Structure 1
Amino acid sequence: MAEAFDDGPCADPRYLLFPDGPLRADASSREVRLAEATCTEGCCGALYVTIRRHGDQVIWGAWRNPDADEVGLPEFRFDAQQYQAEVERATSDRSWEWPARTVARLLEEQLRQCTAWLERWECELGSVSAWLWEPDQINLFLFHPGGAAVKEDRPWLQFRMTLNISGDDPAAQARQLAEDLTASDPRLAADVCGGSPEFARQLGYPWPQRHTL
């Protein structure tokens, strides 16, 4: 995957690994997004795979990137019982999380319950991510005026906010960050990281925008 798509990280496990999540396999085909460009799919693409079960095998194939003519990955086949067991094991395992990753998960859960805060500022939460190569920070992504504008060919911008994380209790850090973030317009402490110079002009923002939290 890393060789076939290097414009962004793999999808966060919480969007793939949950009971009856998208990685489950049955007779019907299911297309799953495994990775997205850091600047959003609408800007630089994403990596999709179609998962289906055929007899005693699970097949990953029909790879697709909306931003490329083809994806250089072959079809993969797995023993169905072993595949299901591994998906169930991975779904229940959180031992791999590091503190920043736990903060990101908890913070996103809390912010998704605060819809009025984002509606006030004409924003939509994209994700809260923690990456292994940045172990002491998390990244919060917002769309303005909303993610739907990307597909509807309307002016849109993506904002990125970088937040430092300590070794303190992850739950306490997530609560404090949620309180701080919902107290004001999040765009004031974020950088424009997606969209286009023309969209920025139409929405009244410089391109790119630089701010320090």
Structure 2
Amino acid sequence: MSTLLIGACPGPPACAAVHTYLFVDGLDVVARSDSRMAGLDPRRLLRPGGPLYPTDMPCTVDVATQEQPEPGPDRLTIRVRLRGETVIWSDLMYPGPDGRPIGEVRFRLGQYLGEVERAYAALEDQP
């Protein structure tokens, strides 16, 4: 099982916009997947019932968009689904610590939902 940690950039003046960091087992999924991408607004991704909340029906979720217009895909998507007490992210393709591609990760439902809710609550505490 993997561990999820979610962070958020505060936006200006540090960055041009607010964006989400998604760390799986300590690795930044967005940056490792495509360095041209930046995570979408955390209020969009993390809101209660939002796109990162798993359901029995698999769904494709946009998690990042291209910051700089260059050839290639302009969105980074993952497939999110719930199987019992396990949240599964698939359709990934980022290098793991050993350089081999990671195509799927699994999280314990309790840890996953706790982290999404913690990260969203942290946003609400910001001015």
Shorter-chain TM range is 0.5 to 0.7
Aligned residue pairs total 91
Identify the match of residue 57 of structure 1 among 61, 66, 86: 86
Identify the match of residue 104 of structure 2 among 75, 83, 90: 75
Higher relative contact order (CA 8 A, sep 6+): 2
Q: 1:16 aligns to what SS in structure 2? A: helix
Q: In structure 1, how many angstroms separate the alpha carbons of the residues matched to 2:46 and 2:112?
A: 13
Indicate whether 1:93 and 2:114 are aligned: no
Superposed displacement of residue 79, structure 1:
0.5
Q: In structure 1, how many angstroms separate the alpha carbons of the residues matched to 2:32 and 2:114?
A: 27
Give the structure 2 partner of residue 14 of structure 1. Answer: 43
In the superposition, the TM-score normalised over structure 2's length comes to 0.60
8 Å Cα contact 1:49-1:62 kept in structure 2: yes
Unaligned 5+ runs, structure 2? 1-28, 94-100
The sequence identity of aligned pairs, in percent, is: 32
Give the AA of the match of 2:44. Y
Pairing of 1:189-204 with structure 2 (within 5 A): none
Shift of the 38–59 alpha-carbon distance from structure 1 to 2, 3 Å rule, reads same
In the superposition, the TM-score normalised over structure 1's length comes to 0.38
Unaligned 5+ runs, structure 1? 65-71, 103-213
Indicate whether 1:27 and 2:56 are aligned: yes
Give the structure 1 partner of residue 77 of structure 2. Answer: 48
**By percentage of residues, which structure has more strand?**
2
Larger Rg over CA atoms: 1
**By percentage of residues, which structure has more helix?**
1
Superposed displacement of residue 94, structure 1:
2.1
Give the AA of the match of 1:45. D
Give the AA of the match of 2:78. V
Pairing of 1:104-143 with structure 2 (within 5 A): none
8 Å Cα contact 1:60-1:75 kept in structure 2: yes
